Structure 1
Amino acid sequence: MNSPTRKVPSGASELGDGIVVGAGPVTVDAYEDFLCPFCRLFEQTAAPLLDELVDAGAISLVRHPMAFLDELSTTRYSTRAAAASACAADQGRFAAYARALFAEQPPEGGPGLGDDQLIELGRRAAGLDEEGFGACVRSGAYLDWAGYVTALAVERGVSATPTVFVAGSPVPANPETIRLAVRASLR
């Protein structure tokens, strides 16, 4: 499914289906949708642990921004937010922007944030610039990438968000379970 001509953002995983944060020996894959309220809760509860494990050099965190919930938005918000996060990755600001997207998560059933709002959020919360980031969002440079990420996740068996794998094995998406699975993988 990944072709040599597929545009993938900076910091992408080997398959191009996620953004890698950190370089530790244990891979933690987190499949999320920026419109998913449970993903927002996961971000709020698990981010401190994941940051700690990345900073300690224990994990490589691969975040897969999916477009599962497009039908719960009138403007394909999940796809557009995932694409905007890829634009942020190109400027080395993926993590900060992803956090901001969850912090400013719109309700399901509406349009979500418009492109101008996505750009302003990036400027305000992640220090992203209008020239590079704004142009990337407005051009829709990574709209196809969001679909690719989602398709590969479905092939892997991901059927809900958030879904977490530690060293290739699925684990419940909660900090303590993730901590225990990482610890076991490091032995």
Structure 2
Amino acid sequence: MSEKNHDAKRTARQRLAVQREKQKASERRRRTLIVAASVVCVLALATVIGVLAANSGKDKSSSGAGPVAAPSGAQGKDGLAIPVGKDGARSTLTVWEDFRCPACQAFEAAYRPTVHSLVDSGKLRVEYHLVRLIDGNLGGSGSLRAANAAACAQDAGHFPAFHDVLYDNQPKETDDAFADNAALIRLAGKVKGLDTPAFRACVDKGTHDSWVDKSHRAFQSGGFSGTPTVLLNGKNILEDRSMTPARLKQQVEAADKG
């Protein structure tokens, strides 16, 4: 009987060891996906800077011409951040993102449940900064149009839900599907209460286009290397190759305890 118990315990330990290895492998795959997808977005940064410089003064939407209309509740320097979460949270996650960027979607897939949980518990506040990196790399205007629509959703009080819908329905990077305002409005139908005449008018008029362009220029002048750029209390977490959703949660909870 004692030998059987010993064998059972050994088998249980072996199962636990196999499970731990599977979890570690899963985390490694998620980090690899984010890093690999980021290569495209990093290359996009260099390209878009050249494109904007070459077309300075020629493209109204990229030159920052026209009045800058920040979305309702925008905060931070020049009103370029869309906040999500309680102002009193002890930790702030700053996210620079492009809705066309596959690396941003990879980050969402890996970290979204953890970020949502920390925000809902009042331990984390997120500041979203929207940029249009892929438009400059591959052409088109899907990054701009999607960012404007997200800002319109912020006006309506539905930014978090629409933000997630955009990533859940992100087209392939080479497919500029988000350039179609009608497509963005159809996606708004997935968020209860968002598809209203006011939202549609905001999307169709490009009410926040100049604001998105201003945010993009702030991204460039900030010296960031690509999207997503994710800062926890000012520190770039994606430069830490050991970072995982579990570690992010630990750091935020430690900060919350003081």
TM-score w.r.t. the length of structure 1 is: 0.89
- Alpha-carbon distance between aligned partners in 2 of 1:147 and 1:124, rounded to the nearest angstrom: 27
Question: 2:95 matched to which residue of 1?
Answer: 30
Q: Deviations over 1:45-96 (max 9, x none)?
A: 2111111111111111111121111134543111111111000000010011
- Alpha-carbon distance between aligned partners in 2 of 1:181 and 1:171, rounded to the nearest angstrom: 11
Q: RMSD of the alignment, in Å?
A: 1.8
Q: 1:14 aligns with which of 76, 87, 109?
A: 76
Question: 2:129 matched to which residue of 1?
Answer: 64
Mean Cα deviation higher: 132-141 or 9-18: 9-18
Question: 1:176 matched to which residue of 2?
Answer: 246
- Give the unaligned 5+ runs of structure 2: 1-66
* Aligned residue identity for 1:179: K
* Aligned residue identity for 1:123: G
On the 8 A contact 2:98/2:130 being kept in 1, the answer is yes
On the 8 A contact 2:181/2:203 being kept in 1, the answer is yes
Question: 2:113 matched to which residue of 1?
Answer: 48
Give 1:177 shift. 4.1
- Number of residue equivalences: 183
SS at match of 1:69: helix
With over 3 angstroms needed to count, the CA separation of the structure-2 counterparts of 1:152 and 1:180, relative to structure 1, is: farther
- 1:109 equivalent in alignment to 2:171: no
- Alpha-carbon distance between aligned partners in 1 of 2:254 and 2:221, rounded to the nearest angstrom: 26
Give 1:180 shift. 3.7
SS at match of 2:194: coil
On the 8 A contact 2:68/2:208 being kept in 1, the answer is no
Mean Cα deviation higher: 174-183 or 64-73: 174-183
- Alpha-carbon distance between aligned partners in 1 of 2:200 and 2:215, rounded to the nearest angstrom: 22
With over 3 angstroms needed to count, the CA separation of the structure-2 counterparts of 1:57 and 1:48, relative to structure 1, is: same
- 1:136 equivalent in alignment to 2:198: no
On the 8 A contact 1:85/1:97 being kept in 2, the answer is yes
Identity %: 34
TM-score w.r.t. the length of structure 2 is: 0.66
With over 3 angstroms needed to count, the CA separation of the structure-2 counterparts of 1:117 and 1:20, relative to structure 1, is: same
With over 3 angstroms needed to count, the CA separation of the structure-2 counterparts of 1:42 and 1:145, relative to structure 1, is: same
* Aligned residue identity for 2:181: D
